Amino acid sequence: DRLEWQSQGLPSDSLSLENGVIISRCARFPLIIDPSGHAIDFMMKKYKDQKIQKTSFLDKSFMKVLSGAVRFGTTLLVENVEKLDPVLNPILNKEIQRTGGRSLVRIGTEDVDFSPKFNIILTTKNPAVKLT
């Protein structure tokens, strides 16, 4: 795995390797601590075939991008996460409602079709971030 990660641009320092393990083996949605920005470049290359999109909570179109990723099952990379936006809670807690053969998750005030292929990766540059 390490050689493949390095070929995709991930540095070989211990923090970068830990991030690689987290991305590859996490069961839910990973939080990547990335003070240098190398992990973001690595993930953009790693997930380019899955049409990864990059956004942040400060992006004016964040809700639209999030809804589209959830609906179409793409990977969403959220940068500069210092606090968790409450709009993510239903997604992170997998609060999926099944209605008439559809899987729905609430994003803000609307219910959005939930694709099982959806993936979200949270990144921060702050090594002391505490998300609760």
What share of the chain has pLDDT > 90, as a percent? 50
| pLDDT band with cut points at 50, 70 and 90 for residue 114 | very high
Residue found by looking up tokens 């559809």 in the block? 102
pTM: 0.85
Q: Which residue has the higher pLDDT, 131 or 57?
A: 57
Q: What pLDDT, in 10s, does the model give residues 21-47? A: 888 777 788 888 888 888 888 888 888
| pLDDT band with cut points at 50, 70 and 90 for residue 98 | very high
E runs forming strands in 1-132? 31-33, 53-56, 75-79, 97-99, 102-107, 110-113, 119-124
What share of the chain has pLDDT > 70, as a percent? 99
**pLDDT at position 122 over 90:** yes
- Closest by alpha carbon to 54, among 67, 42, 40, 68? 40
**pLDDT at position 2 over 90:** no
E runs forming strands in 1-129? 31-33, 53-56, 75-79, 97-99, 102-107, 110-113, 119-124
CA distance 58 to 119: 20
CA distance 57 to 109: 17
CA distance 90 to 3: 36
**pLDDT confidence of residue 1:** 74
